[in-house]
Amino acid sequence: MKIDGTHYRSIWREADGTVKIIDQRWLPHELRIVSLSTRKDFADAIRDMWVRGAPLIGATAAYGVAVQMAEDASDASLSETYEVLHETRPTAINLRWALDEMIRLLKSLPPEARAEAAFRRAADICDEDVEINRRIGVNGLALIREIAARKGGGRVNVLTHCNAGWLATVDWGTATSPIYHAVEEGIDIHVFVDETRPRNQGAQLTAWEMLNHGVSHDLIVDNAGGHLMQHGEVDLCIVGTDRTTAQGDVCNKIGTYLKALAAHDNGVPFYVALPSPTIDWTVWDGVKEIPIEERAQAEVTHVQGRMPDGVIGQVLISPQGTPARNPAFDVTPARLVTGLITERGVAPASAGGLAALFPDLARAA
């Protein structure tokens, strides 16, 4: 996507071989681009959320493997790299998916061929992600078009949670791709952006994306969505996912479940933008089986922002010493999901719906 006329991806490899990312910890205040050059850099970048969002976590891990293969392409190094990167974040399944892709390929090759093949596969994973998201956009656009037509060309109001935008993927985003496609087509669209406490990915990243791309939007507090839905101000919700089970349960950023409940109670369609690498075919019941990341208490007791003197820092908002819980994701049961917008079309959130669109992947699992 473009920032001030320059096209960026969220991760890329320069002609000299350096892997670069946008360090998302400083957005929206500063656009900082950093190089990742060791396995430790990649592990830190994923764990400490310089990069985040399920597809981007996967793409970053793939490049992390490649960088390590250039350093040491032995079997021991390959296995250790899998472990080191895999343990960085537990919930987004794209991490395991990308690491499995890399391991499968590299184990079949002699060590001297591994680095080059790894960089090629990492680049392909990035390109595939861009194409998957573009297609999700086209498939989601059809839904937005229908609503626009039903409203006689009136404004389509979309609510989204967290950041499932281009910053969370390599480009386009998943939940935002239909929105960007609708804007390109000239559909009158408005986005309600949940701030998404505790890390405020909505306020800091999605709002920044919307502003950059001239998309009409309002930032809302996480508790406002239900009220807006009750008053007919939301036509549909589109969110992303970190892991979707074989029966269509959707794990996504904490608070997604509450939005789905409010949408269900108010008859608002609740769609999930789902790239196929985010399906975990080995898991059925999302509530019982998906590991939910618990992050630092400080994310809840503090907020980050830019101070009047321009310094980006964190401010304590609770009494010093108050304990906090910080589950980073929750699971929305399939029964609350209207449909899954995938690169192959829109599927009902059910085992049959997913298997019908992805018979090859369901069979292989």
Residue 242 is among the residues annotated as catalytic for this protein? yes
241-260: which residues touch ligand MRU (CB under 6 A)?
241-242, 252-253
Candidates 176, 162, 159; CA nearest to 213 is 176
88 interacts with ligand MRU by CB under 6 A:
no
Among 90, 240, 248, 277, binds ligand MRU (CB under 6 A): 240
* C-alpha gyration radius of the chain: 20
Take residue 343 and report the two structure tokens written for it: 């690169």
Query: Using CB under 6 A as the criterion, what x/- string covers residues 322-341 for binding ligand MRU?
Result: ------x-------------
Identity (one letter) of the amino acid at 335?
R
Cβ 251 to ligand MRU shortest distance, Å: 8
Are the beta carbons of 357 and 275 closer than 8 angstroms? Answer: no
Cβ 53 to ligand MRU shortest distance, Å: 4
Cα 210 to Cα 11, 142, 173, 206: the distances in Å are: 20, 20, 12, 6
61 interacts with ligand MRU by CB under 6 A:
no
Among 132, 164, 219, 357, binds ligand MRU (CB under 6 A): 164
Return d(Cα 37, Cα 31) in angstroms, integer.
Answer: 19
By C-beta, is 78 or 125 nearer to ligand MRU?
125
Residues with Cβ < 8 Å from 318, sequence gap 6 or more? 300, 301, 324
Give the single-character DSSP code of 214.
T
Give the relative orientation of helices 54-71 and 75-86 as an angle to the nearest 10 degrees.
Answer: 150
* HEC secondary structure over 263-305: HHHCCCCEEEECCHHHEECCCCCHHHHCCCCECCCHHHHEEEE
Cβ 82 to ligand MRU shortest distance, Å: 20
Helix (H) or strand (E) run with residue 131 in it: helix 111-150
Using the CB atoms, write b or e for 44-58: b if 16+ within 10 Å: ebbeebbbbbbbbbb
DSSP per-residue string spanning 55-104? HHHHHHHHHHHHHHHHH--SHHHHHHHHHHHHTS-SS-HHHHHHHHHHHH
By C-beta, is 54 or 115 nearer to ligand MRU?
54
Is 326 labelled a binding residue? no
53 interacts with ligand MRU by CB under 6 A:
yes
Is 40 labelled a binding residue? no
Is 164 labelled a binding residue? no
Candidates 289, 277, 305, 303; CA nearest to 364 is 277
**Could you say which of 23, 222, 242, 280 is catalytic?**
242
Which residue's CB comes closest to ligand MRU? Answer: 240
Among 9, 25, 39, 52, binds ligand MRU (CB under 6 A): 52
Cβ 70 to ligand MRU shortest distance, Å: 27
162 interacts with ligand MRU by CB under 6 A:
yes
263-322: which residues touch ligand MRU (CB under 6 A)?
none
Return d(Cα 292, Cα 69) in angstroms, integer.
Answer: 30
By C-beta, is 81 or 200 nearer to ligand MRU?
200
Is 252 labelled a binding residue? yes
Cβ 91 to ligand MRU shortest distance, Å: 8
Size of the site for ligand MRU (CB under 6 A): 17
Query: Using CB under 6 A as the criterion, what x/- string covers residues 174-213 for binding ligand MRU?
Result: x--------------------------x------------
Tokens 């994973």: give the residue.
125
Q: Please state the residue numbers annotated as binding site.
A: 52-54, 89, 201, 252-253
* Site for ligand MRU, rule CB under 6 A: 52-55, 92, 162, 164, 168-169, 174, 201, 240-242, 252-253, 328
Residue positions in the annotated binding site for substrate? 52-54, 89, 201, 252-253
User: Which positions are annotated as active-site residues?
Assistant: 242
